[in-house]
Amino acid sequence: MEDDDPLDFDREDLSIPRSIMKAKPKKKVIGLDELLQEYYQEKINVVERESKKLRMHASDSSDEEDDKSVKKKEKQLCAFVNECERQVNKLSATVNVESWGKRIFGPQKAPPVLHFPGSDACPLLQALSENDELKVIADLSIENGEAFMVELLVTGWLQKLVLSRGHCDEFTVRWAFNLMAYSSNESHEVCACNFLCSIILSGSEGASHFCVLDWVPSGKQIKEIVQIYGYLEYGMGDKLIVSKREDNDDFEFDGPPVNIRSWLKFVSACSQARSRAILATSDAEELAVMVIQFFLERQLHCLFSLLKECLATIVRFFTDEQWFASLQEISFSLRRSIPGKDFNCIRLVESLSGVDTRIKELQKDVALGMLLNCIGKQEYRDAKEIIDLLTATNVRDKLTDFVQMYICLVLADAWLWCNPVITENSTVETWLHYLRGCSCQISSTDWRAYASKVRNKASYLIQMYEGQK
């Protein structure tokens, strides 16, 4: 080729655009380094996948182990709870704690039949029938004599008539007395009670009228009413029994009737009317024991205030010379009627609380008698002797009777609290030492019956006695 010859690209067709002309792709050459890198990267990926699988498997295995551990703990907890429940049931089975309550009233006896013989037998009606105008207006006759008397009683005219005359015949008093005690008509019963109380108290100090009564009931007749109501004089030691109609067909109602309200009010009036000489000292003592025992009858719980008022009136009946001997007699009768380990002791003592001096003395004397029953003693020489017997109890002993300890704590407190007889500091300090032992030595996890109650009661009493210093 000569130098003047045109070049090859000069021979090309310059009319064809360059963009149409495509160059052939060149093949990429893979080197050894790239192959080795790809090989090792694949190995790394395989190792990572295997490691991930192992971690997942280990995680699943850990969850299973945790589940097994939780189930094992649940079984242990269930076994522990069952064991605790078994021990509690065993303790509750060995200690049978009964609440307060005594059956004071049983089957009622048949009340006496009330007969109203007619206006001829009633001096008051005879006197009224002498007034011709009144006889015509009231249409007095033998047939309607009782209805007329009841009308006078309910409207209050009988009371005004008797007080204005200043005299009441025996028939009228007996008729009103039986109506108050046994009438099933509540209105007649209440009106008869109000009438009797007003004429009996008419002779008391400060009364505006004085009424001469031809007859007054005796203490024996007043107590016979309660016996007809079903009073269980010799059944006080029996356990509380709830009688049902289907179990006993021999009586219609398990007392007492609603007339017991009027009876209590009438006893209060008789206790206040000392000038009438209705009650003897022995009668008042027996009535006091009856009324105190009524506090244990759950059917009379709604009459608590009326019972306390009646008891306070009976206690004021005694003279200062009679009171000490009567106090001992009442306490002895109550102590004999209730056993030592019985929550009725606490109910009885707490029911005798009040601000009246004689009621306080009665409460302390009854508490002392009940406490002696609990610790098995008939008498005592001094207060320290009793407290020493209480402190001899070992609260850590498994055979300790915490129920009896609790009863003794309450009774001892009622006897010692503000008692002028207990003046020695050593006696009080011994008592406080005993209370601190009960409060500190009994564990909060002690599940024995009444263990926690003894501890809490002792802690409360410590604060009370230390605050008194």
The secondary structure of 385-422 as a DSSP string is HHHHHHHT--TTSTT--HHHHHHHHHHHHHHHTT-TT-
What amino acid is encoded at 72 in this protein?
Answer: K
Domain count, the chain: 1
Structural domain for 132, as ranges = 98-244+251-317
Tell me, yes or no, whether 451 lies in a domain: no
Q: What angle do CA 357, 363, 365 make, to 5 degrees?
A: 105
* CA pair distance 334, 150, nearest whole angstrom: 41
Tell me, yes or no, whether 380 lies in a domain: no
Please tell me which of 23-32, 107-116, 174-183 the model is most confident about, judged by mean pLDDT.
174-183
Tell me, yes or no, whether 1 lies in a domain: no
Tell me, yes or no, whether 456 lies in a domain: no
Q: How many helices (H) and strands (E) does the chain have?
A: 18, 2
CA 372, distance to chain mean position in Å, is 25
Q: Which DSSP symbol is given to 232?
A: -
pLDDT, residue 363, reads 94
Tell me, yes or no, whether 136 lies in a domain: yes
* CA pair distance 455, 439, nearest whole angstrom: 5
pLDDT, residue 149, reads 86
Phi and psi, residue 331, nearest 5°: -65, -40
CA 405, distance to chain mean position in Å, is 19
The residues, any chain, with a CB within 8 Å of residue 59's CB and separated by 6 or more, are none
Q: Residue 273 above 80 pLDDT?
A: yes
| Bridge partners for 438 per DSSP | none
| Global confidence as pTM | 0.74
Packed helices 170-182 and 219-228: angle between N→C axes, nearest 10 degrees = 30
pLDDT, residue 20, reads 43
Tell me, yes or no, whether 172 lies in a domain: yes
Which tops the pLDDT comparison, 275 or 271? 271
pLDDT, residue 340, reads 67
CB of 344 closer than 8 Å to CB of 338: yes
Tell me, yes or no, whether 416 lies in a domain: no
Tell me, yes or no, whether 32 lies in a domain: no
Percent of the chain with pLDDT over 90: 33
Which tops the pLDDT comparison, 29 or 200? 200
Q: CB count, 10 Å around CB of 340?
A: 18
Both tokens of 377, joined, read 């003693």
C-alpha torsion 58→59→62→68, nearest 10: -120
Mean pLDDT of 237-246: 40
CB of 411 closer than 8 Å to CB of 346: yes
Radius of gyration of the chain (CA): 48
Report the half-sphere exposure of 144 (CA within 13 A, side-chain side): 11
pLDDT band at 398 (very low <50, low <70, confident <90, very high): confident
Mean pLDDT of 72-99: 68
Kindly report the average pLDDT of the chain as a whole number.
78
Four-residue CA torsion sign, 102, 108, 112, 114: positive
CB of 348 closer than 8 Å to CB of 337: no
